[in-house]
Structure 1
Amino acid sequence: MEGTLSLRRAEVRASSTASAISALREQLSQPELACVLAFTSPEVDLGELGPGLKQSFDCPVISCTTAGQIGPDGFTVGGVTAASVAGPLKVHSFVIPLDDIAASVSEVAAEIVLLRPKSKLAFGLVLVDGLSLKEERLMATLHAALPRLPIVGGSAGDDLHFSETHVYFDGRFRQHIAVLHLFETDLPVAPVKFQHHLPSDQRLVITRADASTRTVYEINGKPATAVYANAVGVKESELTSQVFSKHPLLLRIGTEYFTRSLARVNADRSITFFCAIDAGLVLRVGRQGGFMDAVESAITELRESLGEPQLVIGCDCILRRLEMESNGMIAQVGKHFADLGVIGFSTYGEQYNAVHINQTFTGIAIGGAP
């Protein structure tokens, strides 16, 4: 039927990568594939999975390593969470080497301008090496080159090992790249973005930092870990990812607050962030708002504006997942996402048009025929 996507979904946890590839091929194959989405645990043999995906599916494959997946079973860890899509949709994939973002984006933008039919809606989905530290520059450059193209995306993960993250392109999982997937469709689409932290009254001033590594050495003129731990009411030895997930720092730009999430503490009492940070910034300690209220409100607004989505491709920050686990909400939120048709992953950062953000859900929803 015109306007209807044909979707097949799979959650694969096989004993071997060869078995996983076989299961994906069996569960996802269908006529006239538009694309395959395959979000994978870093524990899978990527050297085998990459060629297997290319050989199995004669269509664009959208894939990266994750810090957990989102699919029909809600939030999962391990294996591969995937979906195949057929119907009134076309996908073009463009690799962007991160060693020369300006030149790479210029070439990609020129190709997209030639490709994009004016009669169709279009959006971009970007997947980027989550340890590249290049997301801010990438998104600013893409937005400047393609200002009318809505772009959402996520930074690849590796189950919080912070060792290697990979993005798939043309049969291989690669480091130091981003891939922009251009979607064309006549179906209604809607970007999705929501988070739940609110600014507290506590203000922190970054007094010494290395912007190139996103590392803060001093806050308010003192060791970063000491000041942050005191601000959130724990000992320095108690600073964990769970604490970070509950108390990010918020940067005000105009009337809106953007989340600057902490990634890890270092032996020299510095703190490395998931997002851009620099000396002179004045930040507020974040406090938890209504997590479930934010999720349910976003879903309600999406359904009111778009109708029931056929597919939602979602990028959800790993720190949100840790917070859900800590608060005992992960099964409930996972069911909401599964009921909504979300296929996605837990990220090391999220992208939304020109900006790279943290502790946010970003995504794109595709509706039915208008």
Structure 2
Amino acid sequence: MAMRHMGGINNIVNAMHTPAALKTIVESLGFQHLDLDVTVPRVIIFRDAIVDFLGMELEARFTSRAKSGWQSILNYTGGAYIYVRREYAGRLKIIASSWATANKKAKEFEDAQEGDGDEAVEGGEADKEGGETKGEMDRGSKEDSKSAARATGTQASGEKSFQINSMIVPTTFNEMFMFNSAVMGFSNSVWMQEVLESFDDMASNVQNSYRLQEECDTLGLRLAKYRGTVNLSEFKSVMLASLRSLVPKDWNSAHEVAWTWLWENVERMLTALMGKPQVQEKAFESFIMSLSEDSRNYLRRQVFKSFFALAPAGQDYFKQSSTRLYWITDQVVAMTIEIYKDP
């Protein structure tokens, strides 16, 4: 958590001389704090803690002008967090409601299909009863009846098949997305399938910034395996076109702004990961392979030492021997390498 704070503050300080970049960074950080109740008193506590720490470390070098500057930038950042949480709450509601509407259409489609199946079963039973009654007729009449029924059935089946084919249209988000991507000329963009698989989790967890970041991290690993060009703005075009089709009655400019805002944040997180998984995979694997046995044992001990410090209740579940705990740590490392290779 301390590294998160330092990383965020470092980015803010580096962008202070560029208002547009500073606004983007602060808005992005505010988006990541949507699930936290950021209030004015809490901003003041955080601001004073940072300023007091700097004053204690720098002593006389931390002038009154420097103190005023730090207070100003931290006030701006905290105020931006509060503004984002207050103003963007409406966008979160729009995203949740419109996404629920799109998914509800899929459920209705499945229910309708089940209803058609039940009617077909009932019709089949009725035909069976009729066939048993006709079995009492003479052989010649029976053959004629079968021929007529076969001809009539073929005609009816053809008409029904034509009606079903003519009525089937994309009604789920995935189907509508695939349809629109083909129409818009993006059928060869295979990477869109990877994003599409994660998009439901993203849209459903937009209020949980950490979960959304995890989804983007995992998606970034999968996109890193793609050899072609990834143009994330293309996905946004197809996404908006699909949502407009699935939410026709409620869709308005507010929906357009909300979904565009969501995708811009997702795109920003994915762009920040571009090119990194390949480097991280090699660095991590090289680091693990370079460790001596003593270093490995130290790493194994530190993993559970840190884990128990963060989650003391975990000690109730890990009462095994050190050998067993070391084995678990080795499996975690192996799984991490495997995730990089095959996410």
Q: Give me the TM-score of the superposition, normalised by structure 1.
A: 0.20
Q: Give me the TM-score of the superposition, normalised by structure 2.
A: 0.21
More strand by share: 1
More helix by share: 2
For CA contacts below 8 A with separation 6 or more, give which structure has more relative contact order.
1
